[in-house]
Structure 1
Amino acid sequence: MTRPAAIVTGGARGIGLACAQALADAGFDILVADLAEQAPDDLATDITARGAKFAYVRCDIADLASHSALVDATLRAFGRIDCLVNNAGVGAVVRGDLLELKPANFDHTLGINLRGTVFLSQVVAKAMLAKPGDDTRSIITITSVSADMASPERSEYCISKAGLSMWVKNLALRLAPENIGVFELRPGIIRTDMTAGVTAKYDALIDSGLVPAKRWGEASDIGSVVATLATGKLGFSTGSIINVDGALSVPRL
């Protein structure tokens, strides 16, 4: 049987890598799209050791002209696209007073996190619809608890994730009749390279009770949810938001 195939953007490290690993373990062939010219030396070894075929494409998702080439490369490598994991993204360029937010920094963050992700999803959805079938297909977008929880010192990041959340809702409605599941995952405080510089800050906040689960999230926590969704086990839940945050986002008195 032909294995299903998944695209994971920003899949060379962190949450994206964990998603690629979990999908490979779940039976998917994997194309990683990331910014480096070539895949890290150990990435292909890691993925293929899990029984998957592996391909890599350099892609800046902010460059809309690159999206079609990414889809074409996936189809050449695997002949199909069954899952897109929209993981690539950036944080705020500068944390600080939102009244000093620079338009260029706003445009940079939204150009990648929102605009790039929206239009890549569009291109991939069209490719999926061009090859209709009964196979399980999905588009899974990694947003953040910041889609709903405000952080004034990085407002452009929160805005980009909130915009993505609304995009997921609309895309889910459009693709539900086509049996393509569309989901939003909202990670909380996850141990990755992006959070390495604020480890001490979040250690203290977690110790003080910010996260009811009393621990950091790990990238593997996200990967396991992505694999569950991609394999169709929650297909009728299309359009859902899945919080992966140790109950961080649950309102409390």
Structure 2
Amino acid sequence: MAADLSTTIYTLDGCDFSYRGTPCLSDITLSLKKGRMYGLIGPNGSGKTTLINLLTGSTHPTSGTILFKDRPIHTYTKPDLAKVLSFVPQTFSMDFDYTVSEVVMMGRHPYIGRFGSPCTRDYELIESALTILDIQHLKDRYVTRLSGGERQRVLVARALAQDTEVMVLDEATASLDVRHSIDIMKALRAKVIDAKLTAIAAIHDLDLAASFCDELIVMHQGGRIHSAGDVSELLTPKLLKNIFGVEATILHVPDETPHIHYRYNHV
């Protein structure tokens, strides 16, 4: 049976968040659907990471409600949530020497349990994730001895191995070169199409967002949502000027995603 892409995964209604009395998010109202890839964009300090934390359940709104799969997100236990939602953080640190394979295996822990043993399916998912992220050759290396970009690919592999319905990523491509950034976005896009994954990714590279996302969520200063909708409708020179303060032309080529051409004065 085909997946119902009208299924609502997230409903955020009037969510505010303050930290030590300072407002960080204001009146966040969103509805996110199954099998869509959302790009969360906005200038520095606009609340993208705070919104990501609300979506993962690691932070709760000061006011307002968040439903995840028709249920208040705060009612999920961590193990239950980890079976349906994976998260790739912006930064990564580890106090112990785990190998790459061991870290990717951590994505299977919600299913294996504390005292269980991995099964064939677990190993298949791990091998697939290592292959997709092109890190098979690193599998026996200690994560603490990898570069920042390599560690980031390990985190994405762990999330892929977790094999969840929803994946949330906070600037997962920020420390990667062009090739590996595209590889990660292609892997996510394939999961969205083939497995009806719902992906929400905070992205600083607007061309990547335009190329791979179905919809954009645009944040602006004050922790508010400026707009949300289809990439082709939302991404305009006016939006780039108003939100990011840059002059640009959006190039539309038949059968291709939009391309951004930034304009500047030559010295």
> Same fold by TM (over 0.5)?
no
TM-score by length of 2: 0.28
TM-score by length of 1: 0.29
Larger Rg computed on CA atoms: 2
Structure number with the higher strand fraction is: 2
